[in-house]
Amino acid sequence: MRTGQISRKTAETAIEVTVDLDGTGAYDVSTGIGFLDHMVEQFSRHSLIDVTLEVDGDLHIDQHHTTEDSALALGQALAQALGDKAGIGRYGTAYSPMDETLARVALDISGRPYLVWKAGFTQEKLGEWDTELIEHWFHSVAQTAGITLHCELIYGQNNHHICEALYKGFARAMRQAVERDPRKGDAVPSTKGQLGG
């Protein structure tokens, strides 16, 4: 079973997250931020990674801690579920169209976290979620999951479509990267014999 479970509690947030890489895209997400819930649900549905995520955060201050800490915990759960990464595809790429918007996401589950972000928003909020936190969410997941992640908005105007295209692209790329390749057996997909470092 390629599953991960993380409990994370600080003075700012209390988080419980579980993932199943071999799921069906089932989700149960409650962060207290409606648009963030919607995006994590999109990630789960389109990656086929089952996700449960429950967050009790200090939203009376702002959304930063809830966004960052939930992404860090999700990344940790993904890394735990991947284990030594034996037999995985490792790389994933997806073009994600949504109406007038087209996004491209490419990633490598390399063990070397890095984010290249070439996207932006023309409004400060989506629902009640601060759009400046979206890049930070992707950075935080990449950091703890050990992913080299490139997210690019090729074109688009509607901010909702831009955000959703990026999350769906990330999901589809992750689905490709975490799937086992039967030709690889239990081999770690690296000539070094391990990923990371």
The domain limits of the chain are 3-178
pLDDT tens for residues 143-187? Answer: 999 999 999 999 999 999 999 999 999 999 999 999 998 877 776
Kindly state the percentage of the chain with pLDDT values over 70. Answer: 94
In degrees rounded to 5, what are phi and psi of residue 40?
-65, -35
Per-residue pLDDT reduced to its tens digit, 67-78? 999 999 999 999
Give the span between the Cα atoms of 120 and 135, in whole angstroms.
9
Mean of all residue pLDDT scores within the chain: 95
pLDDT of residue 55: 98
Binned at pLDDT 50, 70 and 90, residue 197 comes out as: low
**Of 3.40.50.80, 3.30.230.40, 3.40.190.290, 3.40.50.10260, which CATH number belongs to 3-178?**
3.30.230.40
Residue 114 dihedral angles phi and psi, to the nearest 5°: -160, 140
pLDDT in tens, 24-56: 999 999 999 999 999 999 999 999 999 999 999
DSSP letters for 119-171: ---SSSEETTEETHHHHHHHHHHHHHHT-EEEEEEEE---HHHHHHHHHHHHH
pLDDT at 190: 57
Confidence band, pLDDT 50/70/90 cuts, at residue 188: low
